[in-house]
Chains A and B, each alone.
Chain A
Amino acid sequence: GENVEQHPSTLSVQEGDSAVIKCTYSDSASNYFPWYKQELGKRPQLIIDIRSNVGEKKDQRIAVTLNKTAKHFSLHITETQPEDSAVYFCAAGFSNTGKLIFGQGTTLQVKP
């Protein structure tokens, strides 16, 4: 069935360090891979996304990479700041239904 595995479940880094979150998806029909940031008690916010015809995308301190062959995609945050602390979710999307399958989430803590 459709499944997205996300690791690690928790990640603690020092301010200024990099953070990497990895996801694996099961359905090769997936062609859209967004990342969401969710702060406590708030809505998920789209922070970056990548489509299946692109291998890498960068937006300031955030980058996402996609390996379609291995069905892996990753989020990279450089120069982390305390305000980056939140739960991050990866998702795999399907163009024919608009469905997003979410990972279990990674709680990122950036220590000042």
Chain B
Amino acid sequence: DAGVTQSPTHLIKTRGQHVTLRCSPISGHKSVSWYQQVLGQGPQFIFQYYEKEERGRGNFPDRFSARQFPNYSSELNVNALLLGDSALYLCASSSAFVWYVYEQYFGPGTRLTVT
């Protein structure tokens, strides 16, 4: 029974570069959300996608973008990396998107270090 998977596990980038993070949700889950977790803090919501459409966006600059594919996997893209983008990026999947909220299950995260 596979849970949420993310790749890569760790990543080191230089300021100004671009990065792409990938997420595969639990089989049967159609919704994917992305969170940024800075060390010592709670996760911060970046995006939520359902059926390939953006349904929610947090307070992050336009340098952050995402998309969801027909197989419900997702990519998070960050352009023009800043030192402050160093964090654990978490993907969470959930089984349904109805008017009522739902459980979100997190992947292991991608640790991004910007130097």
Interface residues of A (CB under 8 A from B): 4, 6, 31-32, 34, 36, 42-46, 49, 51, 89, 91, 93-105
Q: Please report which residues of chain B, range 36-76, place their CB below 8 angstroms from some CB of chain A when the two chains form the complex.
A: 40-45, 48, 50, 55-58
Nearest chain B CB to A82's CB is how many angstroms away? 23
Docked CA distance A49–B94 (Å):
14
Query: How long is the Cα–Cα vector from A98 to B45 in the complex, in angstroms?
Result: 9
Task: Known contacts A100-B45, A102-B44, A105-B41; decide if A44 and B101 are in contact (CB<8 Å).
Answer: no
Kindly state the interface size class of chain B when it binds its partner: 20 to 34
A86 to chain B: closest CB distance in Å?
A: 14
**How distant is the Cα of A55 from the Cα of B43 in the complex, in angstroms?**
25
Write out the residue numbers on chain A whose beta carbons fall within 8 Å of the beta carbon of B107.
43
Closest A residue, CB atoms, query B3: A43
Kindly provide the distance from the CB of A87 to the nearest chain B CB, expressed in whole angstroms.
9
Within the complex, what minimum Cβ distance (angstroms) separates B8 from chain A?
15
**Closest chain A residue to B33, Cβ basis:** A98
User: Which A-chain residue is minimally distant from B91 (CB atoms)?
Assistant: A43
